[in-house]
Amino acid sequence: MAGPVASARLRAWRPFLVLSVLWAAIGVLPVAAAAARVISQAGVHERAGDLVLAVLADREGLLELKSFVLDNPPRLVLDLPGAVLASDLPAVLPVEVAGIRQVRLGQFQSDPPIARIVLDLAGEGDPPAWEASPGDDPRETLIVLDTCPAPVLEPPTVEKGEQGVVLLRLAGAASLPREFGCLKEPPRIYLDFTGAALAASYTGSCEEKGIREIRMGQQSADPEHPVSRVVVELREAGAYTVFTDGDDVVLAIGENAWSLPLGDYLPSGRLKGRKVVVDPGHGGKDSGAPAFFRGGPQEPFEKDIVLDIGLRLAALLKAEGAEVTMTRDDDTYVSLSGRAEIANRLKADAFVSLHCNSCDKPDTLCGTSVYFDHQHSARFAALVQNELVAALGTVDKGVRNANFAVIRRARVPGVLVETAFINHKEDRARLLHPRFRERAARAITAGLIRFLGTKSAEGGAGT
């Protein structure tokens, strides 16, 4: 006879329910008026393949959570009504599990307070299911995310692409956190996938010209964070690009790889707290290196091209968490001393001046070079040059020590980038292509991350 008892209980509760609804309607429900709960700590760890977000509040009890999904880029949002984030909490929590790129924290709204946790997802698939439970400390809420099991990496398949580009496809790898770069002696490209298991170590030759060998091995044997490395050894250093295609990661190798579509840029706060000054050369009355061919100067001028690269670079650096100052963000003239002075005054961590090269005789010289003046900028210049020639497929004119006024006057680490020759037909065609300018900006960003960032993929002879 449980029914009547239960309904009697329900009847007894009804006046309270009615009152609660009334309170809610006029906004004086006691719960809503309660003081905000302050979140003083937030961290992530892995537990049996799941990602656990541990959130510590100032008082006991589970935090209220509401979730929804947003697209472009795909992300799972967890809102915590009535919660305030302590000001010293990090804005980004790096994670290394399949399917989730990073976790971001922010105060979405202050009155009434709503704290927000955003999980940037690696792919378009279903977002992970989640469940909240109390931690050992009664003030702690554990949000357990059911992350997908990491895929097993198989050796890449090799395809011929357009314009002599060779495509190496790693099936199912798009959801994995990854880093890539190029190493010298012998020239090789590596891709590190975190959280991936290898089907087996692998060494194989490749029929395609330019590629000597493909190897796969376990870079880190840490069972919590296995890192699998794919190495493609080249016959000589060359251009490459990495992008995602559906569920796959594709490494494209070849001089024209730069003209292939770019994948989404995936920032992860790698320049947080760094100050960078971006200096698009010339501007206003000073249009920069002459773009003379037959029949006089041709637009766009150097000042236009480097402004576009500069705006792209500034956006990427900001996405990585850097504080960015541009010496100019429109078509105005700034003096050489004024440019360096901005960097000196800000005590910037890095200064990047952007230019296009030219020579007296059109269609003779071509290629990319990075200049430095002070010795403390030599490594910075080398890192940026290395990324640029790999991403752009231009002729490697090397790193040069020259006392250009703008970098001589900068007392902070500074480089002057000559992206390509504006009066060389092939280089100019590249400079006019937005994908080339975006790649240049990404390559400089990668160089800056290697120079200033905390996470470095350098070294690691690995496989």
Please report whether residue 151 would count as binding Zn ion according to CB under 5 A: no
Region 402-431 residues binding Zn ion, contact defined as CB under 5 A: none
Which residue, 302 or 349, has its beta carbon nearer to Zn ion? 302
Is residue 152 left, alpha or beta, with left meaning phi > 0 and alpha meaning psi from -120 to 50?
beta
Give the Cα-Cα-Cα angle 420, 422, 296 (nearest 5 degrees).
175
Residue 365 CA from chain centroid, whole number = 33
CB closer to Zn ion, 127 vs 288? 288
Q: How far is the CB of 310 from Zn ion (least distance, A)?
A: 12
DSSP string, 394-438: --EEEEEE---HHHHH--SSEEEEEEEETTSHHHHHHHTSHHHHH
- The reply to whether 339 sits near Zn ion by the rule CB under 5 A is no
Cα 45 to the chain's mean position, in Å? 21
Is there binding between residue 226 and Zn ion (CB under 5 A)? Answer: no
Instruction: Say if residue 4 is preceded by a cis peptide, omega within 30 of 0.
Output: no
Q: How far is the CB of 300 from Zn ion (least distance, A)?
A: 13
Paired with 396 in beta bridges are 368
Which one of the spans 27-35, 72-80, 280-288, 319-327 is the region binding Zn ion (CB under 5 A)? 280-288
Instruction: Using the rule CB under 5 A, give the single segment among 202-210, 235-243, 284-292, 422-430 that binds Zn ion.
Output: 284-292
Residue 107, beta-bridge partner list = 115
Token code pair at residue 349: 């961590």
Torsion sign, CA atoms 320, 321, 327, 329: positive
Q: Which residue has the tokens 């959280």?
A: 195
- Which residue, among 75, 149, 83, has the nearest Cα to 119 in the 3D structure? 75
Selection from 348, 350, 327 nearest residue 337 by Cα? 327
With a CB cutoff of 8 Å and minimum separation 6, the contacts of 396 are: 237, 367, 368, 385, 389
Instruction: Map residue 107 onto helix, strand or coil.
Output: strand
> β-strand 248-253 against 166-170: which pairing, if any?
antiparallel
For Zn ion, give the closer residue by CB, 248 or 286.
286
Q: Is residue 23 classed as helix, strand or coil in its secondary structure?
A: helix
Q: Please report whether residue 328 would count as binding Zn ion according to CB under 5 A.
A: no
By the rule CB under 5 A, 281 interacts with Zn ion: yes
Our CB check for Zn ion shows the closer of 215 and 355 to be: 355
Select from 94-102, 112-120, 275-283, 374-382 the region that touches Zn ion (CB under 5 A). 275-283
288 binds Zn ion (CB under 5 A): yes
Please report whether residue 310 would count as binding Zn ion according to CB under 5 A: no
End-to-end CA distance of the chain: 72
State the nearest-atom distance from the C-beta of 305 to Zn ion, in Å: 10
Q: Does 101 bind Zn ion (CB under 5 A)?
A: no
Give the residue with the Cβ less far from Zn ion, 155 or 288: 288
> Per CB under 5 A, does 104 bind Zn ion?
no
Nearer to Zn ion, 113 or 288 (CB): 288
Which range binds Zn ion by CB under 5 A, 15-23, 103-111, 278-286, 437-445?
278-286
Q: What angle (nearest 5°) sits at the alpha carbon of residue 70, between those of residues 69 and 73?
A: 130
Identify any residues that bridge with 202 across adjacent strands, giving them in sequence order: 216
300 binds Zn ion (CB under 5 A): no
The helix/strand/coil state of 365 is: coil
Counting contacts by CB under 5 A, is residue 362 touching Zn ion? no
Q: How many of the chain's residues bind Zn ion (CB under 5 A)?
A: 3
Piece of 14-22, 77-85, 162-170, 348-356 that binds Zn ion (CB under 5 A): 348-356
Q: Return the number of the residue (254 or 288) whose C-beta is nearest Zn ion.
A: 288
Residue closest to Zn ion (Cβ): 355
Q: By CB under 5 A, tell whether 355 contacts Zn ion.
A: yes
Question: Between residues 275 and 424, which has the closer beta carbon with respect to Zn ion?
Answer: 424
* Residues 19-58, mask of contacts with Zn ion (x by CB under 5 A): ----------------------------------------
**Residue number, 274 or 355, with CB nearest to Zn ion:** 355
Q: H helices then E strands: how many in the chain?
A: 8, 29
Candidate ranges 74-82, 145-153, 281-289, 340-348; the one touching Zn ion (CB under 5 A): 281-289
Residue 205: in which H helix or E strand, if any?
strand 202-205
Nearer to Zn ion, 281 or 413 (CB): 281
Q: Which of 434, 402, 410 is nearest to 418 (CA)?
A: 402
What is the per-residue binding string for Zn ion in 116-145, x denoting contact by CB under 5 A? ------------------------------
CB of 391 to Zn ion, least distance (A): 20
Q: Which residues have CB under 8 Å from 137's CB, separation 6+?
A: 56
Residue ranges that bind Zn ion, judged by CB under 5 A: 281, 288, 355
